[in-house]
Amino acid sequence: MSFRKVTTFEEFISLHEKYATFFLLKNSTTCPISHEAFKETEKYATENNEVPVFYLNVQESRPLSNEIADRYEVKHESPQLLLFHGNKVAWHESHWKVTKKVWKKHGLL
């Protein structure tokens, strides 16, 4: 499955309309930890055919990142991976926990 970028709140809302479940990675373009999380998530997205995966770059889409944190009451962190299910955040992790090993531990693989 693809790993696609989201930049606006309208695009984000359309994900909820199209998919019952999806991942969203909040990524920093300047942080080495985010870089590793991005690579890990991108690899997962290319190997996974069941759950769509999207990302936003916080420097480019700060209003969207803030709106997600406020609306879903999940403190903003970066990198941060969120699993949306039924218009709610079902699970999230950040920093060095954005790995396939952690996802597997939580039954997400």
Q: Which residues pair with 23 in a beta bridge?
A: 53, 83
Residue 106's pLDDT band, with cuts at 50, 70 and 90, is low
The domain of 40 spans 3-105
CA–CA gap between residue 15 and residue 24 (Å, rounded): 10
pLDDT tens column, 50-103: 889 999 999 999 999 999 999 999 888 889 999 999 889 998 888 887 877 766
pLDDT at 57: 95
pLDDT tens column, 85-99: 988 999 888 888 787
Q: Which residues pair with 22 in a beta bridge?
A: 84
**Over the Cα atoms of the chain, what is R_g?**
12
C-alpha of 79 from chain center: 9
Contact 46, 52 (CB under 8 A): no
How many structural domains comprise the chain?
A: 1
Place of tokens 């970028």: 5
Task: Identify the helix (H) or strand (E) that includes residue 35.
Answer: helix 32-47
**pTM (two decimals):** 0.91
CA–CA gap between residue 4 and residue 54 (Å, rounded): 5
pLDDT tens column, 15-46: 999 999 999 999 999 999 999 999 999 988 88
Q: What is the CATH number of the domain that holds 45?
A: 3.40.30.10
